Structure 1
Amino acid sequence: MNVAIKSALAAMVLLASSASVVNAAGAGTGSVTFSGEIIEAACSITPESVDRPVPLGSVSKSQLSGGGVGTKHYFDIELIGCSLTGLTDKTVTATFTGTGTTEVPGALALNGVAGAGILLTEFDGTAITLGNATTPKAITPGSNTLTFGAQLKGQSSTTGTVGTGTFTAVTHFALAYQ
């Protein structure tokens, strides 16, 4: 083989190998971050239940005026891997905390809108008081679902008017097993 052909083949091999390196480098990189918590509890909480969004929709100001309420939306706290070893009553309670509002007594304050709040309820409609444990719920080994409700409530017409705009509100919960 003559020197020109050998040089041309060597150049083609070098070019082909450098092109695959460029392709590999341009394919993209990234990272995956894992987080969680190991707890001493009778049950595990599913990841979807730890940080759960609950959209309350678009509610008209007129519906909330004079202390009116919006539609109740239900949300679940899913428990898995429950072991009742060491529990005497085989029950669980939830305590919800967050910033309350004086505009709507007993309600969770809204960030971004005045004159309304979010009422939390147990599944049966019993009002939940922020900072107080809910009624104990029986649990069984394995998986369990705790269901709660949330709805907007406007302040009474004697205390002011309901504002408009987008809002957020955050409540945290802690479970206690008996």
Structure 2
Amino acid sequence: MKCVTKTALVSLFMLAGSASMVQAAGAGQGTVTFEGAIIEAACSIAPENVDQTVGLGQVAKSQLEAGGSSQPEPFEIKLVGCDTTTLKSVSTTFTGGVSKDVPGALGIVGTASGAGIVMRDSTGADIVLGTPTAFQAIGDGNNTLLFGAFLKGATAADTVVPGEFTAITNFSLAYQ
């Protein structure tokens, strides 16, 4: 009987131990995905700048009517680990859908319409979609390319329609 009691006790402890292991194993899980690219360039692009969102705020329709615009919102592209042994300057090209309402502006989509997004380089010059900006000198180490963007309304009367909007532009860098 003593042997049966010991065997039962050992079985009970093993069962209790396996129950706690099952509970611990189901305490949470997930996945970590790493992604990126290796590029042939003088600099790396900081991870937080590869895909970014720039908020342009809530702009009054009256501010955009008759070709009016919102205040420029700054954004940047950080370059890290630059080696200027052979390449000493960089140019940025922005691409995207062109606005049907504002010539030269980036088009918006959503429930809002009658406006477009204009981007400017660090000198205040308007950026033409698909056209490289002027080359800007870079130094070894880290560099920051500065830009601005604002909402511009159409010049035609009663064209601006309130609502939500988004716009996407892609950028590419060229070194020389």
Give the match for residue 28 of structure 1.
28
Q: Separation in 2 of the partners of 1:21 and 1:102? A: 62
Give the match for residue 172 of structure 2.
174
> What amino acid maps onto 1:94 in structure 2?
T
Give the match for residue 142 of structure 1.
141
Deviation at 1:101, TM superposition (A): 1.2
Residue 114, structure 1, aligned to residue 116, structure 2: no
Give the match for residue 13 of structure 1.
13
The root-mean-square deviation of aligned C-alpha atoms, in Å, is 1.4
Q: Separation in 1 of the partners of 2:6 and 2:122? A: 81
Give the match for residue 82 of structure 1.
82
> What amino acid maps onto 2:46 in structure 1?
T
Residue aligned with 1:118, SS: strand
Q: Separation in 1 of the partners of 2:70 and 2:50? A: 25
Residue aligned with 1:140, SS: coil
> What amino acid maps onto 2:22 in structure 1?
V
Residue aligned with 1:29, SS: coil
Give the match for residue 59 of structure 2.
59
Deviation at 1:58, TM superposition (A): 0.6
Deviation at 1:4, TM superposition (A): 5.0
Residue aligned with 2:165, SS: coil
Deviation at 1:163, TM superposition (A): 1.0
Give the match for residue 155 of structure 2.
156
- Which consecutive aligned stretches of 4+ in structure 1 deviate over 2 angstroms post-superposition? none
Q: Separation in 2 of the partners of 1:4 and 1:60? A: 83
Question: Which 5+ residue runs of structure 2 have no aligned equivalent?
Answer: none
Residues 113 and 163 of structure 2 are in contact (CA less than 8 Å); yes or no, is this contact kept in structure 1? no
Residue aligned with 1:151, SS: strand
> What amino acid maps onto 1:134 in structure 2?
T
Residues 114 and 153 of structure 2 are in contact (CA less than 8 Å); yes or no, is this contact kept in structure 1? yes
Once the two structures are aligned, what percentage of the paired residues are identical?
A: 54
> What amino acid maps onto 2:109 in structure 1?
N
Which residue of 101, 106, 109 corresponds with 2:99? 101
Alignment TM-score, normalising by the size of structure 1: 0.93
